[in-house]
Amino acid sequence: MSESELPDLYLDDDDEPMEEATTVPRVQSLRERYLSGSLKPTARLPRLMLWAACSPKLRREIDIRKMMVAVIEVPSASWSDCFLEAAKALFSRAVLVSADKGTKSEAYAVSDLDLRLAISAGQSLVILSSQGMERISPAVQASVDHHVQIPHPDRAIIGATVRATYGNKSVSGVPEFVGRNAPASAILAAIRPGENAARAVARLVELDRWFAGATAARLPVGPTLSDLHGYGSAKLWGLELAADIAAYRLGQLEWPAITSAAVLHGPPGTGKTFFAAALARSCKMPLVATNLGAMFNATQGYMHNIVRQMTDAFAEARSKAPSLLFIDELDSIPDRASLDSRNRDYWTTIVNHLLKLIDDGREGVVVLGATNLIDRIDSAILRAGRLERHFEIGRPDETELIGMLRLHLGDDLPDADLQTLARFAFGLTAAQVELLVRNARGAARRADRELTIGDLFDQFNRGDLSPDLLWRVCVHEAGHAVAASAFGRRVELVSALRNGPAGARAVFAGLEDGATREDLENDVAISLAGLVAEKLILGAASTGSHADLTVATRMLAALHGSFGLGASLARRIEPAQAEQLLDERAFRELIEAELRKIEGCSVEILTTRLSQLRAVAEALRIKRVLGAAEFAELVAR
């Protein structure tokens, strides 16, 4: 916006057209009373920002001195003190409280007592906060009449402040993003009375250049943690970290009191990198991202190059502190306990150097690691005091999928049935959900039309199966689901999709820690139930059971060779490698006999439930996806 286009709310009284003389004294409006006079820049700029953010309704209520509860959300913690005076001048007879001033020991910075005291005194309660409704008690939140969100000052507001300070009719050259990049104190220090507009603008330009360089890793616009779904305790930790970082910036919290290091682990594509970017936005910190796997590839494994690159990454993060250092593929550094003596000597130097970087001079740097294989990471890296918080990021459930779909759809398809879509998408990772929406948008764009819900469903390739193959898939998955239900497992979803990202599957509650032999054998029976269902209804099984047989065989091999639940108590091998024991003829014959016996149990279970099996398969053939409630209704008949 150019200075000639500034709306009236940015103008001083001296700039307004002269009115004709009248015998009736002119009554100043609220705007005139609030914005006129010889205000210093430290007062004028926050007043302009606050006035611009107030709605016409709020201004009218302020003018008639109506009692209210209002939250003034400032752009960042650096603006909190500036707006105390600005709010005091606008809200007459109001109790002003800053949510940013609360101590860490308090449950809420703004409590029910603040509300009662203001109301009992017949005064408004005005709360200033850089964290929105966080740290405000539920009772106060429920009583809020106005939530005013003040954006960072734009070029027009800063230009109006410069113009009013020095008496210029117009001012140009104010950098576009200086108000967003620089803290309040630096912006106000650039506009100094007694100088001139040109000098102030030159100082603002230099200020913008300095902060642009200091935040070269500025994140693109995107969601914050509050917008994300499916991250469980990791999200809670991130939100607590954001509050702690804000308190640290205000000098209310020492760095050692902050839990500033963690590891995200889980299958590929579950959104670990996406989480890191959202965490940086929530904490309003630059993100310094590095990838240990890429680092080793780029340096060809030469130790001095790896050590230098690791050192450089931490140094960059320290230079931008407070900042977030994201280390992807953390498992590229192996657990030394799993190495032979020759390799251990090489890796010990690298591990020790990483430990030193984590331990020394890290104030203001949050370290977030990510891995698909946390069990391969050296225990010294993961111990308390280092990357001490460990969060598993799994595949989202149906409710979380609905939230993810809505996030990526934005304002598109506001009335779409996302619950049905989420059932089709069950089993997708966060990355696959984003890809699903992006591909659907691409299909609509190539067809030169708006996105439809059909574009999203089309991504699952529903027409990929012949009628005979579709029926076999439905029978197979119904077998797994009915058997799981017979053993008391809650069935969440049954899908007969084949080429869609989720695939054909039955999703049910898994085993908890401390499973018995009976629990494991029941799991094997459920794995074999798809093959058994095909035999019972179609007369013969197909090759579609190969993955089920792999799971069943591995489970029984671990039962006998690793868990001490079979004929021998000896723990011969790690559970993940138990299949290797099948090379022994006696062990192979034992597992075959066990599989045959448990297959018989599956036959007995499904034979007594043939009507349920057929009902589930028929419903699946029609709907392709059954949710928990639909499945439960079918098996209850």
The domain limits of the chain are: 1-214, 225-392, 398-460, 467-635
pLDDT digits (tens, 9 = 90+) for 220-256: 678 889 988 888 899 999 999 999 998 888 778 889 9
pLDDT computed for residue 461 by the predictor: 59
Q: Predicted confidence band at 462 (pLDDT cuts at 50, 70, 90)?
A: low
Q: How many residues would you count in the chain?
A: 637
Please tell me the pTM assigned to this model: 0.50
pLDDT digits (tens, 9 = 90+) for 411-444: 899 988 888 788 778 778 888 888 889 999 998 9
- Taking 60 as the threshold, does the pLDDT of residue 9 lie above it? no
Structure tokens at 367: 């370290």
pLDDT computed for residue 177 by the predictor: 67
- Taking 60 as the threshold, does the pLDDT of residue 572 lie above it? yes
Please provide the DSSP assignment of 230-254 as one string: S-HHHHHHHHHHHHHHHHHHTTSS-
pLDDT computed for residue 30 by the predictor: 86
Contact by Cβ (8 Å): 562, 575: yes
| For range 23-49, the mean pLDDT | 79
| For range 564-585, the mean pLDDT | 90
Residue with tokens 């790896």: 306
Backbone angles phi, psi at 582, to 5 degrees: -65, -15
pLDDT-above-70 percentage for the chain? 90
| For range 500-512, the mean pLDDT | 72
Contact by Cβ (8 Å): 612, 484: no
pLDDT computed for residue 464 by the predictor: 63
pLDDT digits (tens, 9 = 90+) for 330-355: 988 888 887 777 777 778 888 888 89
Q: Between the ranges 3-7, 127-131, 403-407, 523-527, where is the mean pLDDT highest? A: 523-527
According to CATH, what is the number of the domain 398-460? 1.10.8
Helix (H, G, I), strand (E, B) or coil at 161: helix
pLDDT computed for residue 5 by the predictor: 38
- Taking 50 as the threshold, does the pLDDT of residue 53 lie above it? yes
| For range 194-205, the mean pLDDT | 89
pLDDT computed for residue 300 by the predictor: 60
Structure tokens at 630: 């639909």
pLDDT computed for residue 11 by the predictor: 40
Residues 6+ apart with CB under 8 A from 264: 234, 272, 275, 276, 368, 369, 370, 371, 391, 393
Q: Where is 96: in which H helix or E strand?
A: strand 94-98
Backbone angles phi, psi at 492, to 5 degrees: -90, -35
Lowest mean pLDDT: which of 1-10, 102-111, 418-427? Answer: 1-10
pLDDT computed for residue 251 by the predictor: 78
Strand ranges of the sheet holding 389-392, from the earlier edge strand across to the other edge: 287-291, 323-328, 365-371, 261-265, 389-392
| For range 175-192, the mean pLDDT | 82
Is the torsion defined by CA of 562, 563, 564, 565 positive or negative?
Answer: negative
Task: Estimate the crossing angle of helix 430-446 against helix 272-283, to 10 degrees.
Answer: 90
Structure tokens at 338: 């799993």
- Taking 80 as the threshold, does the pLDDT of residue 176 lie above it? no
Nearest C-alpha neighbor of 281 from the set 208, 319, 214, 228: 228
How crowded is the C-beta side of 137, counted as CA atoms within 13 Å?
A: 16
Contact by Cβ (8 Å): 261, 386: yes
The CATH number of domain 467-635, selected from 1.20.58.760, 3.30.428.10, 1.10.645.10, 3.90.1170.50: 1.20.58.760
Q: First and final CA of the chain: distance in angstroms?
A: 68
The CATH number of domain 225-392, selected from 3.40.630.30, 1.20.140.10, 3.90.230.10, 3.40.50.300: 3.40.50.300
